Structure 1
Amino acid sequence: MTDLELTELVKEISLADFGKAFKHQAMFNRRLRTTGGRYMLQSHHIEINPASYKEFGTDELVGIIKHELCHYHLHIEGRGYLHRDRDFRELLEQTGSPRFCSLVQSKARTKPVKRYIYACIDCRCEYARKIRMNTARYRCGKCNGKLRLKSE
């Protein structure tokens, strides 16, 4: 799907579900990682994460477009367009728009690997760290004892 086709789809959904015209552009932005789409306040354009479309298909894309159109139309009208605003939540419910989109698994954040294990000499409390630390500078948070590297 191209950006022109996406803009046409957004215009169709806007007229069908909101009864209002979408007069700006919609485009794919592959730099989006943690969200399905976003509405740009200054330019009034809508950006969509192409990974969400590829992984979840047209139904998810339509849901993201409806969500962003809620932001768009409320902002244009000067009403509450933020997630916390009552106007926004009511419009989501009226149009059947999702509040959240599905998280793209390939972009999902994973916990960092803890490579270094430090232990207190006195109380044997263990601390896992991703980055090596200077044991002469730091002490145990529980008993103020000295730390030593237990394993890498």
Structure 2
Amino acid sequence: MDLTSYVQKVSLEDFGKPFRHEAVWNRRLRTSGGRFFPKDGHLEFAPRILEEYGEAVFRQVVRHELTHYHLYFEKKGYRHGDADFKRLLKEVDGLRYAPPPKNSKRHTYVCSVCGQHFQRQRRIQLDRYRCGACGGRLMEKINPPQG
């Protein structure tokens, strides 16, 4: 897939405006689906979005970045908090946030007394921490692999 021509196609179909810059892949992007660079107008996209979630979700990420792109060049509010950005993103059905990586590791802990569940990104030392609700001991719950 030629990324720049795909973005040009989405821009014309969903915004009715041309995309005149370059779009490139960036494998280093982990938490975001893409980036817009106002200085030179190019867009970067994370290939993991297309690989893990398919073309429908990737197209929504492209719409998100194109929303930044078009509003910036129209000299309107192009940042996430701006009303112009929120309105246009809703109109074109773009994603507000990039979906999380499917292979992200999470650690789940369960209280042995009350059964409360806790999710953490990092492992914790079970002998140092207790349940915040009842003070019981925590046990690690083994999560099945996501995919």
Same fold (TM over 0.5): yes
**Percent identity (aligned):** 38
Give the AA of the match of 2:50: Y
Query: Who wins on radius of gyration, i.e. which is larger?
Result: 1
Aligned residues: 119
Aligned partner of residue 103 in structure 2, secondary structure? helix
Give the AA of the match of 2:95: P
Structure 1 pair 49–106 and aligned structure 2 pair: CA distance change class (3 A)? same
- CA distances 1:100-142 after superposition (whole Å, capped 9, x unpaired): 23211224666222237459xxxxx9xxxxxxxxxxxxxxxxx
Structure 2: give runs of 5+ residues left out of the alignment. 107-119, 130-134, 136-147
- 1: CA distance between counterparts of 2:94 and 2:57? 10
Structure 1: give runs of 5+ residues left out of the alignment. 120-124, 126-152
| Partner of residue 136, structure 1 | none
| Partner of residue 142, structure 2 | none
> Within the alignment, does 1:48 sit opposite 2:45 as a pair?
yes
> Within the alignment, does 1:114 sit opposite 2:114 as a pair?
no
- Asked if the contact 1:34/1:107 (under 8 Å) is kept, the reply is no
Give the AA of the match of 1:74: L
| Partner of residue 95, structure 1 | 92
More helix by proportion, 1 or 2? 1
Give the AA of the match of 1:42: K
- 2: CA distance between counterparts of 1:42 and 1:107? 32
TM-score, scaled relative to structure 1: 0.70
TM-score, scaled relative to structure 2: 0.72
